[in-house]
Amino acid sequence: MKPIIDISFYQAPSAIDYDLLAENVSGVILRACYGIWKDTAFDRHYAEFTARGVPVGAYHYIVGNAPIQAQAAAFNEAVGTKTLRLGCWLDVEDTRPNTKLYRQNVLDYAALQPDMGIYTSKGAWNAIMGGAYLTDRKLWVAHYTSNPYPLLPTGWDSWWLWQFTSSGRLPGYAGNLDTNRFFGDDADFAAWIGGEVPAQPDKLFDAKVVTTPPIRLRTRFTPAGNLRPEADWLQSQAIVPVYETSGTGWWRVGHEAWASSEWLQRLDLPLPPPMSGDYAYYGAVYSQRDARWASHPLGTRSTIGANGCLMTCASMVCNHFGHASNPLQLNDWLTSHGGYLDGNLFLCCLLYTSPSPRDS
């Protein structure tokens, strides 16, 4: 699913293309208040995103040097009767000397706002709270890392939202954005926000993992993104469903699970019949990026789609001179007959004949 972002007056309305940004997020959590002061961009951000159908939430950055009851009242006044489908969140992170939060500040505020989730980091929570408190609340955890899971504050064993970077980039805003991941799939997210559960995407095709046993194929949360846990990697020779292709060499094989198509062989497309008999040849027939062979290894290095242009052209030359072939057949023949140097460097001095029972 698309990321969730959180913004405040630091992301000025004048700097946002709301139409474009709304298309690239699943939701937005807005700062409603800082201490007893209402965020000056809260109402504008709320109006712009909700007008475009984007689910919105609100958070309150509380401080230790202002009365807790006054802060809670300020938040309640700011949000009023607004529809906050992503909920309300208590921001527990202020450890600055002049405004530092203390445990009792947080507990007193939480008692006044029993439905609020908690936003914090492991370090801030330990510095302010020093133990397991409010662990029945939803957790929105901040941890900027490339690891597949965040570090959690004391007392929690799971998270609801994970702010994994403060330097996310999305179309519609030129600067850095706090970017978050929801712990669940599209159906879970729809259930949370009260939306329509999206239809599950149909499988496009099946593919075979072509790594050499026992080497497993790594999976990532996004195309070329962070690695998923090793337990989620694909077994060599396994048959897996493919739900989406990125156009950049990555296929989605599960919810937030992408694998390199270089090591996946598509199974549903039959090879075209080799050309035979009397025919006229009118130019290029085959493309190295044809899905029927693009992800197939070229010799023993790279793939036909990445580096097989010469070999693909050679297959058409073979056809022209009466040796029926297609790129996959020629590549397999060259691989088994020493037709490549250094893995995939093409040798043009071999005499190729089309496969026959004697070659099997």
Domains and CATH numbers, the chain: 4-193 (3.20.20.80), 205-266 (2.30.30.40), 272-360 (no CATH)
At 213, give phi and psi (nearest 5°): -55, 140
Q: What percent of the chain has pLDDT over 90?
A: 55
- How much is the pLDDT for 354? 47
- How much is the pLDDT for 258? 92
- How much is the pLDDT for 313? 85
- How far is the C-alpha of 286 from the C-alpha of 159, rounded, in Å? 50
- How far is the C-alpha of 296 from the C-alpha of 307, rounded, in Å? 11
Query: Which residues are registered as beta bridge partners of 91?
Result: 61, 119
Query: Of 125, 127, 122, 118, which Cα lies nearest the Cα of 147?
Result: 122
Q: How does the average pLDDT of the chain come out, rounded?
A: 87
Is the pLDDT at 31 greater than 80? The verdict is yes
Which burial class, exposed, middle or buried, applies to 332 when counting CB atoms under 10 A from its CB (0-12, 13-18, 19+)? middle
* Average pLDDT of the residues in 321-349: 79
How does pLDDT run across 38-67, given as a tens digit for each residue?
A: 999 999 999 999 999 999 999 999 999 999
Whether the CB-CB separation of 113 and 74 falls below 8 Å is answered with: no
How does pLDDT run across 253-276, given as a tens digit for each residue?
A: 987 789 999 899 888 765 555 555
State how far the alpha carbon of 39 is from the alpha carbons of 67, 84, 198, 254, 314, in Å.
18, 16, 34, 39, 66
Most confident of the following: 2-16, 191-205, 217-231: 2-16
